[in-house]
């Protein structure tokens, strides 16, 4: 009887350690929650949606380029984990520029990019945005609309961005995550009185 190869290999373990090291001193915006909690949540969503090992690794590393070193980090990811992982991470990165371009411009460009993105990028990006939206909704329930003060887009910009994301993902993805994102965004708007 032939032994089946494990779904997640040592590459995944390496990526998990690498992501934890990259983000070791980072916390979620406006909280004391270690950033790695977000990365693990996004990875779990990708795996639960049927994602493969490359997508799971990209989920762990999806913010590494933007938050932890730009193009040098991108090249390190490509060298360590391969072209496909690097491609997905690149597709989830909204800018390499320092300082970052104006917030609304970056978000409009990212939404336009998603309309043409591959299924690999869509799955990881959708998991990222769903986890972010869930977190915002939880904070809105606990802290009210003061939650929006920690976001560059403020209340109106944040609500616009997540509604635009939800609409885009519903058109591009059959994933249950897309339907859940739309429901979470509806709840965000309801609590915010928008």
Known catalytic membership, residue 66: yes
Choose among 126, 128, 62: nearest CA to 93: 62
Catalytic residue among 10, 52, 54, 67: 67
Instruction: Answer yes or no: are the C-beta atoms of 62 and 19 closer than 8 Å.
Output: no
* Count of C-beta atoms within a 10 Å radius of residue 98: 6
Spatial contact of 49 and 58, defined as CB atoms under 8 Å apart: no
67 is catalytic: yes
Name the active-site residue from 53, 54, 63, 66: 66
Which of the residues are catalytic? 66-67
């Amino acid at each position: 009887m032939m032994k089946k190869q494990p779904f997640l290999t040592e590459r995944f373990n390496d990526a998990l350690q690498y992501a934890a090291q990259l983000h070791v001193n980072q916390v979620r915006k406006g909280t004391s929650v270690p950033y790695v909690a977000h990365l693990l949540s996004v990875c779990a969503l990708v795996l639960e949606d049927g994602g493969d090992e490359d997508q799971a690794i990209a989920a762990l590393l999806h913010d590494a380029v933007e938050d932890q070193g730009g193009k040098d980090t991108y090249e390190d990811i490509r060298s360590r984990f391969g072209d496909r992982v690097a491609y997905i991470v690149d597709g989830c990165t909204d800018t390499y520029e320092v300082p970052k371009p104006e917030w609304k411009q970056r978000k409009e460009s990212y939404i336009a990019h998603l309309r043409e993105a591959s299924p690999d990028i869509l799955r990881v990006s959708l998991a990222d945005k769903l986890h972010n939206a869930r977190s915002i909704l939880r904070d809105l329930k606990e802290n009210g609309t003061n939650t929006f003060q920690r976001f560059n887009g403020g209340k109106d910009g944040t609500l616009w961005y997540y509604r635009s994301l939800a609409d885009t993902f519903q058109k591009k993805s059959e994933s249950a995550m897309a339907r859940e994102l739309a429901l979470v965004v509806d709840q965000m708007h309801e609590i915010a009185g928008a």
